[in-house]
Amino acid sequence: MPQNQTHKELPSPSEEAIQYSQQLSKQIRTALARHKSMTFAQYMQKALYTPNLGYYTNNLAKFGEQGDFITAPEISPIFSRCLARQAQQVLQQLDEPNIVEFGAGRGVMARDILLELQSMGQALTRYYIIELSAELQQRQKETLQNALPEALFQKVVWLNQLPSTPISAVILANEVLDAMPFERLRIEPHHALRGYVRYNDKTTKFEWDYQPITDRHLQKFTNRLIQHIGDVSELGYETEINLHIKPWLESLNAILSQGAVLLIDYGYSREEYYQPARVMGTLRCHYQHRAHSNPFFYPGLQDITAHVDFTAVAESGFESGFKIAGYTTQANFLMGSGLLEMASDPNAPVTEQIKTAQQLKTLTLPNEMGETFKVIALTKQFDQPLLGFSVRDLRHQL
């Protein structure tokens, strides 16, 4: 992961990018003037998802070396092939085997999963991609059309919302939860505050505006948090909570008649997430492969994320009607899903073997993605033990 930087050290955007950001900032200011106040979650929703201008919906590069970050499927096809092996275990038990993928980036993961399933002889009814960005949809179509046989490409269906009728499927979401708009909280010695956003006319920038918490759900959560972390110093304790997880999982449960949901993201169990020493929370912004903590730097030009509370995911999944079928680190999951046998090809050229070894280190080493990233599985009408959690299942840590 890139090191944290102050925004003074960040590269300057192009003129085209600055214009996108200025247009988006104007829209956010208009909404702010109309509603008089804006929570940080509302600001984040607009910064990331405003049609054509938000970070995930505009035409600027995001993924790979030209963008702001690199995801596991872009590092090595072995990641997606392991996911395909896990998916296949479930798909072969379904009357109508479908896959639903959220936020498919450039389409690299979909491509490698589809090719791996085909090589295993696994039939597939549809591969649905839920994608809000028209520009990313176009990129995904190009990636898949260039790599897949025509008959396989025809199975891919693009949607901008969940299917309208229940289906049996494996639902995949890699680095989706971390980009859901979250609330920012600040605990001070004598009170708790919620993060709002205001516009400063003098500096011509957005900035934090912390106000007393009035929302009952957040008050309840904050009271429990204060009991957990104990006394805080004058410097305060800042953290995040994602209120979108439960409604999102409820919507997945409503359209899934049978199958599994696999969620891969960086995060912790609740105990680890809200530890007393984590006084600055986990809010991170990613801009041109640099990480920093200012969410108001050129709105629309950077990713805004927070780590995932996997205990909240498990609780919300259970309350939504899912069974919690497994929780482990990315390294353990990949090992359980056939990583080592895929990685060892004695006939490959030495340069290729070295390249693969380097990719696997990034995916599995503790100080890379191996332990920071976790995988949680939620199942419905499916009771077999899942391959990916056979090496080490950490559900007891939730």
In angstroms, the CA 13 to CA 298 distance is 9
Q: Are residues 293 and 186 in the same domain?
A: yes
Q: What percent of the chain has pLDDT over 70?
A: 96
> How confident is the model over 334-371, as pLDDT tens digits?
999 999 888 777 777 888 888 888 888 888 888 888 89
- Whether 329 is in a domain gets the answer yes
- Whether 197 is in a domain gets the answer yes
Enclosing domain of residue 150: 74-179+250-273+307-397
Per-residue pLDDT of the chain (398 residues; tens, 9 = 90+): 334 444 557 888 989 899 999 999 999 999 999 998 999 999 999 999 999 999 998 888 776 666 667 889 999 999 999 999 999 999 999 999 999 999 899 999 999 999 999 999 999 999 999 998 888 899 999 999 999 999 999 999 999 999 999 999 999 999 999 999 999 999 999 999 999 999 999 999 999 999 999 999 999 999 999 999 999 999 999 999 999 999 999 999 999 999 999 999 999 999 999 999 999 999 999 998 889 999 999 999 999 999 999 999 999 999 999 999 999 999 999 999 999 888 777 777 888 888 888 888 888 888 888 899 999 999 999 999 999 999 999 999 99
Residue 283 backbone dihedrals phi, psi, to 5 degrees: -60, 125
Contact 296/321 with Cβ under 8 angstroms? no
- Whether 6 is in a domain gets the answer no
Q: Are residues 190 and 238 in the same domain?
A: yes
- Whether 114 is in a domain gets the answer yes
Q: What is the CA radius of gyration of the chain?
A: 21
CA terminus-to-terminus distance, the chain: 25
> How confident is the model over 139-189, as pLDDT tens digits?
999 999 999 999 999 999 999 999 999 999 999 999 999 999 999 999 999
- Residue 326 DSSP class: E
Contact 392/332 with Cβ under 8 angstroms? yes
Q: Are residues 195 and 223 in the same domain?
A: yes
The tally of domains found in the chain comes to 2
Q: Are residues 226 and 321 in the same domain?
A: no
Q: Are residues 96 and 29 in the same domain?
A: no
Closest CA to 333 of 383, 375, 382: 375
Helices (H), 322-372: 330-336, 339-343, 350-364
Q: Are residues 164 and 269 in the same domain?
A: yes
- Whether 164 is in a domain gets the answer yes
Helices (H), the chain: 15-35, 40-49, 72-75, 77-91, 108-119, 134-147, 150-153, 216-229, 245-255, 270-273, 310-319, 330-336, 339-343, 350-364
Predicted confidence at residue 1, as pLDDT, reads 36
Question: At 93, which CATH number?
Answer: 3.40.50.12710
Q: Are residues 207 and 350 in the same domain?
A: no
Q: Are residues 364 and 266 in the same domain?
A: yes
Q: Are residues 102 and 89 in the same domain?
A: yes
Asked whether the whole model's pTM tops 0.75, one would answer yes
Q: Are residues 39 and 80 in the same domain?
A: no
Q: Are residues 159 and 41 in the same domain?
A: no
- Whether 111 is in a domain gets the answer yes
Q: Are residues 284 and 195 in the same domain?
A: yes
